[in-house]
Amino acid sequence: MQRFAGLAFGAENFSPAKALFLRRWCCRLRNPIVHFQLLSVGDGLFSVELINGKYQLSGGIDPLALCKEHGTPLYVYDAAVMERQFRRIAGAFSYPKLRIHYACKALTNLTVMRLFRQWGAALDCVSIQEVQLGLMAGFVPDNILYTPNFAGLDEYEQAVQLGVKINIDAIPMLENWGLHHKDVPVCIRINPHLMAGGHENISVGHIDSKFGISIHQLPHVLRVVESQGLRIAGLHMHTGSDILDVDVFLRGADILFEAARKFPDLEYIDLGSGFKVPYKPEDIETDVEELGEKLSQRFAEFCREYGRELTLMFEPGKFLVSESGFLLARCTLVKQTTSTVFVGLDTGLNHLIRPMFYGSYHKIVNVTEPQFKPRIYTVVGNICETDTFGSDRRIAEVVEGDILCFYNAGAYGWMMASNYNSRPRPAEVLIYQGKAHLIRRRETLEDLTCNQVQIDI
């Protein structure tokens, strides 16, 4: 049951998209008499919600109890949110030959990868190690696309031996391919020269990007393909991350369609990803339903012109797991200076680097005392660097020992974590079918030293 502005509705009355719209509409009203409360969170729509004055995770799980059991800092993921996102993107397209590849660089925990395989996803991998993890998670080689960047020929050789699909993004490697494996079909990654993405570090389709083969080098590519007798099975592009404008995808698709007409034996076209997810209650996101409607029609028209149906592929990562994840951390100290009140935590950029690396925003709430009077804080970590998670944040009053929660921590959180300052990486917990499961134990000092070789000195 969901309660909206004093009226109760059964959960069956809301699709995920409608429920999400209602919540954001309610937030935009900024009216204290309007209240939207999720009384049943089994559908995973909002996996950390304030209910009866306390924060709860999906299935009514108490985040404070998880911290007591597993310690802090702690990553928590909600499988229901991952599945919701996968079903949403898969259901947005009416074109029948659609394949969604999970870009596992966002989160390669084997349990998470196995879930996406069970839901019907294929896999996008950027290293041979990710390929090997995908095979361990049960993906068949034909459902894995290996898309490295500046990988050595030895990695490509391993990919050939493992039987996965291979994506090439440089002309020299394409020329090498003709010398060694011209009978192995490959995909070519094209740089469409579209500037897109929410930050310069995640914009990868512009003219100065290291990724892909420039669309202006297509005549050179065609000469290599013809002279070497290469089999080109697919074309691929990826312009960046946090792309809001649907027209960016459509423009990129048109560029790729024009290039595809020069390759008569294609089997698939991969349009990458970059779908923006919301980070704030009033934030906007990529309208994947609009994209699905427009692109399905446009792709079907292209296939009719091409002469046969090709497979349409996407490779979302952040879109599938970002909103499912939360980082829980303990306040170690509240420190007031002449100008700022700092909340220091038992985590830092070594566990969540995105705010410092990308300037990314993560909502932060006080899970322990959500009803306390809000105050303005700058939230920082315990690393010996400038280590700021958020400045001038309005958070319920924090005291030492309180647990703070970071939202949107499912993608590139644990994956970009390090042992900087010789601090171990956190444990990971997955909420699956209403129960919390430990899916990665917390590292120990022994883990940090186990591969060191000490010599006699």
Q: Strands 165-168 and 388-396, how do they pair?
A: unpaired
Output the six-digit token pair for 267: 């089997």
DSSP-based helix, strand, coil % in the chain, nearest 5: 35, 25, 40
Residues 6+ apart with CB under 8 A from 427: 70, 71, 74, 75, 438, 440, 441, 442
Q: In the 8-state DSSP scheme, what is residue 373?
A: P
Query: What single-letter amino acid sits at 80?
Result: A
* Residue 384 annotated among the catalytic residues of the structure: yes
| Cβ-Cβ contacts under 8 Å for 233 (sequence gap 6 or more) | 165, 185, 186, 187, 265, 266, 267, 268
Helix 171-180 and helix 218-228: axis angle, to 10°? 10
Name, in order, each residue with C-beta under 8 angstroms of 290's C-beta and a sequence gap of 6 or more: 246
Catalytic residue among 187, 384, 405, 450: 384
Beta-strand runs (E) in 39-109:
48-51, 54-57, 74-78, 98-103
Contact 76, 321 (CB under 8 A): no
Buried b / exposed e over 185-211, threshold 16 CB at 10 Å, is: bbbbbbbbbbebbbeeebbbbbeebeb
| Positions marked catalytic | 384
